């Protein structure tokens, strides 16, 4: 399914100008139909899967219990 730059910006939660810049730089693949750029929505699937995996790793790290204190005594 192809979406416009405006729809892609809303889908990604990014400003429209930034999405336009990425399209012109080739960082987001698109086709030009003579009037507007169209972006295949499926290309963002892997991005969102990796983003969710990273969020899960961060949550796991945050929820990991702290190691016990080694209770080092000062001999002074």
| pLDDT tens-digit map of 23-45 | 999 999 999 999 999 999 898 88
Using CA atoms, how far residue 41 sits from 29, 30, 71, in Å, is 10, 10, 55
Residue 76 has pLDDT above 80, yes or no: no
Residue 5 has what pLDDT? 93
Domain boundaries, the chain: 2-63
| Digit-coded pLDDT (tens) for 43-52 | 888 888 888 9
pTM: 0.64
DSSP string across 31-50: EE-SSSEEEEGGGGHHHHHH
- As given in the structure block, the two tokens for residue 64 are 């990991």
Q: What is the pLDDT of residue 44?
A: 85
């Amino acid at each position: 399914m192809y979406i416009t730059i405006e729809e892609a910006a809303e889908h990604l939660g990014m400003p429209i100008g930034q999405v336009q810049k990425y399209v012109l730089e080739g960082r987001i693949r698109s086709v030009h139909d003579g009037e507007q750029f169209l972006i295949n929505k499926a290309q963002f699937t892997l991005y969102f899967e990796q983003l969710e995996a990273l969020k899960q790793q961060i949550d796991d790290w945050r929820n990991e219990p702290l190691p016990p204190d080694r209770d080092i005594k000062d001999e002074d």
